[in-house]
Amino acid sequence: MIDTWKYINNQFFISTLSSAKRALIMSIFHDNALRTLSITYPLLLPLYTRYHPLHLALVAAYNQHISSGSLQQGDRLSVSQAYIISKGLLTNSWMPVILGLHQKNSPRYKAILPGGLSPFNTGTIDARIAAFGILALNIGGEVALASIETAANSNHVSLLLLREAQSNAKTTTSDNSGTLETTRVAAMKMQYRNLGYMMDNFCDTIEAMCPLVFDLVTLRENPQTIFTGSVLAGLQTDMLAHTFLTADEIAVKIIGKGTFKLVLASTLAGVDSTAIEVTANIKQKITMSAFGITNYALHRYLNVISLSGDAASYRVQLL
C-alpha cells in the first residue's frame, strides 16, 4: 500500500480541524494580506475576489456561534477555568499588594476582605464570582489599591458575561456548529487552492511570497502563548505580534517601578489605539476590545510605552 503523498494533503484544513478560532485567525491574516498586497501584485486580485466572500461567511458563522453560547472545544475557556485564572490573579498578584499596605489583623484589611479568601473558595460558582465585585466595592476609593479595584471589577464583569453565555446557550447550537464547520471547510479549501495559484504564478519567489500571504506560524505550529522581554526607561518596546479576536484576553505583568501604557498598534512603533495603563508589579487581565479598534487584521502589534524612569521587564500571556 502506497502512503498518501503529503503535498496533496490540505494542511489548511487539517490544522484547523480541532479549532474554528484557529481557522478564523488564519482567514483574517490571508484575507487582509490578499487585499493589501493586490495593489502591488495585481495577480493576487482574483484570489482576493474569490476568497473574501468565504472569509465574510466564516466570520459571520463564528460570531453567530459565539452568540449562541457554544464554541468548539478549545476555543473558549469554561467558567471554571476562567475563575481559576481570576483567582490566581487574586492570590498571586493582588494579595501581596494588599498585605503590603494593610496587615492581616488590621481593621482596614478586615473591611476589604471580611471573610478573608473564604468567599472565593467556598459556595456556589455564582457566589464566588460575586466575591470579586464585593472586593472592588470594599476597596472603594483607596488610591493605592485603585488598580486592583479596576482589575477586580473587570474580572467580575468578564466572569458574569461568561456565566451568562454558558447559562443561556440556545437550542440552535447544533445548527450554528454545522454552519461554522461548512464555512471553515470552504475557506480552508480555498486557501489550499490559492496556494496552488501562488505556486503557478510566483514560482521563482514562492519562498518569499508565502509568508506574506499565508499565516504560516499558526498553520505550522501551536502559537507561542508566553512572551517576555525588557522595557527601557521612557521608551516604547514591541512586545509581540499576533492576530487577536475582539474577545481574546491577555495577562500582563511588568516588573519594575511606576506605570506603563499598552497599545495595540498597526505598526511596530505605532500608538494608534486606546492606551491601557498598567501599574508595575500587578498582574492585570485585559480584553482586547478595550483597545478600541475594529480592524484586528491590521492592529497586530502589542507595544508597551514606559512612563517610568527605570528599566523594567514584562511577561505577557495569551489566555
Q: Which residues have C-beta within 8 Å of that of residue 316, sequence separation ≥ 6?
A: 226, 227, 228, 239, 240, 250, 251, 252, 302
Of residues 300 and 177, more confidence is placed in 300
Angle 81-224-71 from CA coordinates, rounded to 5°: 40
Question: Residue 73's pLDDT is what?
Answer: 41
Determine which helix (DSSP H) or strand (DSSP E) holds 64, and give its type and residue range: helix 45-67
Average pLDDT rounded to a whole number, residues 270-278: 88
Question: Residue 224's pLDDT is what?
Answer: 67
- The region, left, alpha or beta by phi > 0 then psi within -120 to 50, assigned to residue 140 is left
Read off the pTM: 0.49
Angle 82-87-89 from CA coordinates, rounded to 5°: 100
Question: Residue 172's pLDDT is what?
Answer: 47
How far apart are alpha carbons 65 and 175 in whole angstroms?
A: 9
Amino acid type, 128: R
Write out the three cell numbers for 173. Answer: 447550537
Name the band, by pLDDT with cuts 50, 70 and 90, for residue 311: confident
Average pLDDT rounded to a whole number, residues 251-278: 88
Share of the chain above pLDDT 90, in %: 24
pLDDT digits (tens, 9 = 90+) for 56-101: 898 888 877 766 554 434 444 567 778 888 888 898 889 999 999 9
Q: Fill in the DSSP letter of residue 91.
A: I
With contact defined as beta carbons under 8 Å apart, do 28 and 288 qualify? no
